Chains A and B, each alone.
Chain A
Amino acid sequence: MSDISLSESEATKPQKTRLQIALRKPGFLIGVAIIGFSSLLAIAPGLFAPYDPNFIDYNAVRQPPSWAHPFGTDMLGRDSLSRVISAYTVNMQMALLATIFALIIGVTVGALVGYYRGVADMIFGRFVDAIITFPFLVLVIAVVAVLGPGLINMYIAITMVGWVYYARLMRAEVIAQMGNDYSAAGVVMGYSDRRIIFRHLLPNAITPVIVYWMTDMALAILLGSSLGYLGLGAQPPQAEWGVLIAEGRNFITTAWWLSLMPGVAIVLTGLGFSLMGDGLADLLRPRG
């Protein structure tokens, strides 16, 4: 009995302190706040936007920021603030939809090739080498060019290229985890491969992937708006940050607010994801 009594006091402590440590970091708190608020804007833009984002008013074209229009108005007299807010829906959707399938596919493939190695792993290795030699953006643009522009096609394109990065990370992490005897213990216990991979290895291997996912969501917004800017992603009149920046491009010297405000939104959301990812890394790391 005395064996255990020493760790008694620790029993309830660890979980709490870990969350406390994470919450004590202002970066993580700011990140969570930004992403939380961004998600709220994305779900219910109508609650926050002062005007209808598509309401055209030819009497108020390209007005500078004022109390009535804090971010000014665009070349059609639409309220810039309302357009930036309503773009949250599509841009936050991008962060999720362009990455979630890549995450799921990548984690599964990475875990499987990492566990089984062999021929599948060799083929995977060559494939990764091939994909990674190309710049990410160029590949995505090539896929969009084949599929045609539009949001759905853009998600498909980013997923087709993006899962490779998740898979590579997951594979390496699974192989590292297999160095621990608990996976050999699973084999010796007669557990099925599926159980060992998904119940034992995956939960221990996934932390760096989740952290990467956070950064990747920021990158997805950046990439999505780049494609929108180039006319390959969201199509006008849809309010999307890249599209908004592109619309303001012609008036950059006279109506600078048109391009600046959506740019600020991109930077802010990206920062939110990065800060949150940092904090998550501490939160998810297993103890001991």
Chain B
Amino acid sequence: MNEPVMTIENLGLEFPLGRTLYDVVQRRPGRVVNALNGVSLQLNKGETLGVVGESGCGKSTLARCIVRLYEPQHGQIHYHGQDIFEAEAKKDRSYNRRVQMMFQDPYSSLNPRMTTGQILSEALRVHDMRPANEIPARVAELLDLVRLPQDAADKLPHEFSGGQRQRIAIARSLAVEPEVLIADELVSALDVSVQAQVVNLLLELQERLNLTILFVAHDLRLVRHVSNRVAVIYLGRIVEIGDSETLFSRPSHPYSQALLSAAPSLDPDDKGKAIRLEGELPSPLNVPSGCPFHVRCRHATELCKREVPALLPRDGRGEVACHHVEELN
């Protein structure tokens, strides 16, 4: 179970905003958005690693780095020991086949002018997955796999509901027989009852095809449900990572604690029990010094303002980046 498929080390990515006239007059460099800051994690064979955090925290950027839509300025990503950003590796399209991504918006991730059948057979053809004469049969198989009826092959994306479109996107990814699936907010745009259908399908497919999944989402209940391990990201840094059940039942980092208790419970009796965070997520343009969370943290001290806490292992509780984790728990 613990065989690493992918290791991410110290990943850092900044988006330059360009130098404005004001910057030039002030003789200072243009501003940058700090999207990722020293993210390290390991993705193990067959597991689901959940990634949670608020919008703008860098979780989608991380997903997009993994599939090489963005190239990070710092750090490395190794896939089975191979650096994916090395010049030689970048030409290798088989990486794109082995590591697939699925997107949030089911209305924009499918080409509106191609039928489901065309979308799936294109993927099969480009990667030579099947000889030409076996492609229709494989398309039928894929539709079956994601529980879409056979006549779906001749329809255009606009003829499907959001949930069905996400099934098509899943089928497209599975067409090239990947090892790793990156699900970026796969079900966030769907209604609750449909969400459950798609999540069930994903879990079932993972079991059947021995897939490794990185599940990026802001819905904590969903992440808890599908993940083996979870990483909590705040302003481009992992603040806590560990076994899903432990992290959700006994979060160690003050941010994880606040985030988890902010998710509205279905039980009206939980009213008023939640920890309320003060203030807003600081802009990634202007990341606070020291611990990025200190401006919103009730337990922050002078030390937190000065020094960035390292992500350190706690006995049997995963890894936590907090100066005061021992006193707080």
Chain A: residues with CB nearer than 8 A to chain B?
1, 3-4, 6-7, 10-11, 14, 179-182, 184-185, 187-192, 195, 199-200, 203-204, 286-288
Contact with A along B100-114 (1 / 0, CB 8 A): 110111011111111
Known: A187-B69, A188-B100, A191-B126. A287 touches B93 (CB 8 A): no
Nearest Cβ distance between residue B122 and chain A, in whole angstroms?
Answer: 8
Known: A11-B155, A286-B113. A185 touches B169 (CB 8 A): yes
A200 contact set on B, CB distance < 8 A = 111, 114
B300 interfacial contact with A, CB 8 Å: no
Residues facing A in B118-171 (CB within 8 A) are 122-123, 126-127, 147-149, 151-152, 155-161, 163-164, 169
A203 contact set on B, CB distance < 8 A = 111, 113
Q: B164: which of A4, A184, A286 is its contact (CB, 8 Å)? A: A4
- Give CA–CA (A204, B97) in the complex, Å: 25
Contact A288 B96 (CB under 8 A): no
Contact B112 A181 (CB under 8 A): no
B176 interfacial contact with A, CB 8 Å: yes
B67 interfacial contact with A, CB 8 Å: yes
Known: A190-B96, A190-B126, A191-B126. A10 touches B159 (CB 8 A): yes
- Give CA–CA (A14, B160) in the complex, Å: 13
Contact B103 A181 (CB under 8 A): yes
Q: A182: which of B110, B151, B155, B161 is its contact (CB, 8 Å)? A: B110
Q: B159: which of A11, A182, A185, A192 is its contact (CB, 8 Å)? A: A11
B residues contacting the other copy or chain, number (CB 8 A): 43
B59 contact set on A, CB distance < 8 A = none
Contact A288 B164 (CB under 8 A): no
Contact A288 B107 (CB under 8 A): yes
Nearest Cβ distance between residue A90 and chain B, in whole angstroms?
Answer: 37
B294 interfacial contact with A, CB 8 Å: no
Contact A288 B157 (CB under 8 A): yes
Nearest Cβ distance between residue B131 and chain A, in whole angstroms?
Answer: 19
- Give CA–CA (A179, B105) in the complex, Å: 11
B67 contact set on A, CB distance < 8 A = 187-188
Return the chain A residue nearest B184 by Cβ.
A181
Nearest Cβ distance between residue A107 and chain B, in whole angstroms?
Answer: 16
A188 contact set on B, CB distance < 8 A = 67, 69, 96, 100-101
Nearest Cβ distance between residue A174 and chain B, in whole angstroms?
Answer: 14
Contact A287 B156 (CB under 8 A): yes
Contact A195 B164 (CB under 8 A): no
- Give CA–CA (A268, B123) in the complex, Å: 48
DSSP majority for the A interface?
helix
Q: B105: which of A181, A187, A287, A288 is its contact (CB, 8 Å)? A: A181
Contact B158 A286 (CB under 8 A): yes
B224 contact set on A, CB distance < 8 A = none
Report 8 cross-chain contacts, Cβ distance below 8 Å, ordered by A residue.
A179-B108, A182-B111, A182-B112, A185-B101, A187-B96, A188-B101, A189-B97, A286-B113
Nearest Cβ distance between residue A238 and chain B, in whole angstroms?
Answer: 43
Kindly list 7 other residue pairs between chains A and B, CB separation below 8 angstroms, not including A182-B111, A187-B96, A288-B112.
Answer: A3-B147, A14-B159, A184-B109, A185-B169, A188-B67, A287-B156, A288-B159
Top 6 A-B pairs ranked by shortest CB distance? A288-B158, A190-B96, A180-B108, A181-B109, A190-B93, A181-B103
Residues facing A in B217-257 (CB within 8 A) are none
- Give CA–CA (A190, B67) in the complex, Å: 10
- Give CA–CA (A182, B157) in the complex, Å: 12
B94 contact set on A, CB distance < 8 A = 190
DSSP majority for the B interface?
loop
Nearest Cβ distance between residue A89 and chain B, in whole angstroms?
Answer: 36
A6 contact set on B, CB distance < 8 A = 161
Return the chain A residue nearest B158 by Cβ.
A288
B113 contact set on A, CB distance < 8 A = 203-204, 286
Contact A7 B161 (CB under 8 A): yes
Nearest Cβ distance between residue A210 and chain B, in whole angstroms?
Answer: 14
Max chain B C-beta neighbours (<10 A), residue from A179, A191, A288: A288
Contact A7 B160 (CB under 8 A): yes
Residues facing A in B44-72 (CB within 8 A) are 64, 67-69
Contact B111 A204 (CB under 8 A): yes
Contact A190 B149 (CB under 8 A): no
A189 contact set on B, CB distance < 8 A = 96-97, 100, 123, 126, 172, 176
A191 contact set on B, CB distance < 8 A = 122, 126
- Give CA–CA (A182, B118) in the complex, Å: 14
Nearest Cβ distance between residue B83 and chain A, in whole angstroms?
Answer: 18
- Give CA–CA (A4, B167) in the complex, Å: 12
Known: A3-B164, A4-B148, A288-B107. A190 touches B159 (CB 8 A): no
Return the chain B residue nearest A8 by Cβ.
B151
- Give CA–CA (A10, B160) in the complex, Å: 10
B114 contact set on A, CB distance < 8 A = 200
- Give CA–CA (A184, B67) in the complex, Å: 10
- Give CA–CA (A70, B115) in the complex, Å: 54
Contact B164 A182 (CB under 8 A): no
Q: A1: which of B96, B111, B127, B149 is its contact (CB, 8 Å)? A: B149
- Give CA–CA (A287, B156) in the complex, Å: 9
Return the chain A residue nearest B92 by Cβ.
A190
A180 contact set on B, CB distance < 8 A = 108-109
Nearest Cβ distance between residue B324 and chain A, in whole angstroms?
Answer: 40
Nearest Cβ distance between residue A102 and chain B, in whole angstroms?
Answer: 24
Q: A185: which of B109, B148, B161, B164 is its contact (CB, 8 Å)? A: B109
A3 contact set on B, CB distance < 8 A = 147-149, 161, 163-164
Return the chain A residue nearest B114 by Cβ.
A200
- Give CA–CA (A185, B93) in the complex, Å: 14
Nearest Cβ distance between residue B154 and chain A, in whole angstroms?
Answer: 8
Known: A286-B113, A288-B107. A4 touches B158 (CB 8 A): no
